[in-house]
Chains A and B, each alone.
Chain A
Amino acid sequence: MLRVDALREIYPELEQHIVVTIMGAVAAELYALGHRPNFFYMEHSMGLASSLGLGLALALPGRQVVVLDGDGSLLMNLGTLTTLARYRPPNLLHIVFDNSSLVSVGGFPTATASGTNLAEMARAAGVPRVLEAETPAQFRTAVTQALARPVMTTLVARVEASGPASYRLDLDLLENRFQFKRYLDSLRSSS
């Protein structure tokens, strides 16, 4: 499965939710599908997208938060799985695109290429629901399932190690930051 096909499959849902992505291919591909003020592309701090998503989900219990993580990023902050499992906000969906590669930096294989299993690690950490997907149809079903019944979920999606032609977003990171903050402020003032 191509990551961009998986993203295209769930874009209508992502449009409606608070979305945090890691940097690199994921950010560029989601941006190319169509930017929204409720999308935050974390262009650094590898590993912390899920921590940022946890802060959002705990602070905004009435809103669905979707984190788009990757194997390289998650491996840099494995402790996050134990923290997500411990506080398990039901409004948090943690999607991990696993391409067994640091594709955005030129393709060094990560530990998942030699047998590390992130879904099993999430289960062993105590994440209440762990799903896996290898095709766009499975991915679609898993996301629908995760959003339908609110239980904190980690979804590990196997994708090919390919990225977009360009990683540039036509959006300054501070512009994204202030737009995202203003969007969340407007949610609070309207609720």
Chain B
Amino acid sequence: MPVSLEGARRIYEALKACDIKLVSALPETWLVPLLRLVEADQEMRLVQVAREEESIGIAAGAYFAGLPSIHVMQNHGFLAAINPLVSLAMLYKIPVLLLISYRGSWGERDPWQTQGGLLTEPVLRALTIPYYCLRREDDLTRRLKEAQALALSALHPVAVLLTREVLWEDEEP
């Protein structure tokens, strides 16, 4: 049951198509292959944070400076970043493109991920953050570009959720 390298490569290519130049992240199992691709790319800057809240500050700085960025975290990290999303990004109308691994949802086998899985979408809705759950058959570049366009036009955070079917190769059930 490995992380899908094909899924990671497709997401990386979508980030390239969006002209992403700065990627802040707090690595977790699902995200490692994607972050390795980002790290190896001379045109992208990977900034690894100690806590996801930092990513929202970095996002604001990159936006002010005109550098396209994306901020990669697990859904539990998104829950840790709620205050700066509210009191920096939303208060100051700053577009933040969030790429969130959606743990604890369909097919999850780790019990400790499940409570965060149950709360991820309700919390996104409560925060009025538009989100899209990527599916394996999606045109990932199109979906990422749409999220980026909406964030920039709405001056608001927008989230793309990375589901298990995009990032994980399950054994046959």
Contacts and interface: CB of A to CB of B under 8 A. Distances in A.
Interface of A: 20, 40, 42-45, 47-60, 77, 79-80, 82-83, 86-87, 173-174, 177, 180-181, 184-185, 188
Interface string B32-69: 00000000000001011111011111111111111101
A44 B91 contact: yes
B84 A45 contact: yes
A55 B62 contact: yes
B67 to A, nearest CB: 4
B92 interface: yes
**B interface bracket (residues with beta carbon within 8 Å of A):** 20 to 34
A164 B59 CA distance: 31
B54 A45 contact: no
B123 interface: no
A48 B57 contact: yes
Contacts of B65: 55-56, 59-60, 184, 188
A53 to B, nearest CB: 6
B54 A83 contact: yes
B49 to A, nearest CB: 6
Given A52-B57, A177-B93, A83 B50 contact: yes
Interface of B: 21-22, 45, 47-51, 53-67, 69, 83-84, 87-88, 91-94
Nearest to A178: B93
B49 A83 contact: yes
Given A44-B87, A181-B64, A54 B92 contact: no
Given A55-B60, A56-B61, A47 B87 contact: no
Contacts of B84: 45, 48
6 contacts: A20-B61, A45-B83, A48-B84, A59-B67, A174-B93, A188-B66
Contacts of B59: 55
Contact of A51 (B54, B64, B67): B54
B53 A83 contact: no
B53 A48 contact: yes
A26 to B, nearest CB: 16
Contacts of A55: 22, 57-65, 67, 69
A54 B47 contact: yes
B61 A59 contact: yes
Given A54-B61, A58-B22, A188-B66, A80 B50 contact: yes
B83 A51 contact: no
Nearest to B69: A55
Given A55-B61, A77-B54, A79-B54, A185 B87 contact: no
A51 B59 CA distance: 9
Q: Which 4 A-B pairs have the closest CB atoms?
A: A55-B61, A51-B57, A79-B50, A59-B65
A63 B143 CA distance: 34
B86 to A, nearest CB: 9
Contacts of A174: 92-93
A57 B62 CA distance: 9
Given A50-B57, A57-B61, A177-B93, 20 more contacts: A20-B61, A45-B91, A51-B55, A51-B57, A53-B61, A54-B61, A55-B58, A55-B59, A55-B64, A55-B67, A58-B22, A59-B67, A77-B53, A77-B54, A83-B48, A86-B48, A181-B64, A184-B65, A185-B66, A188-B65
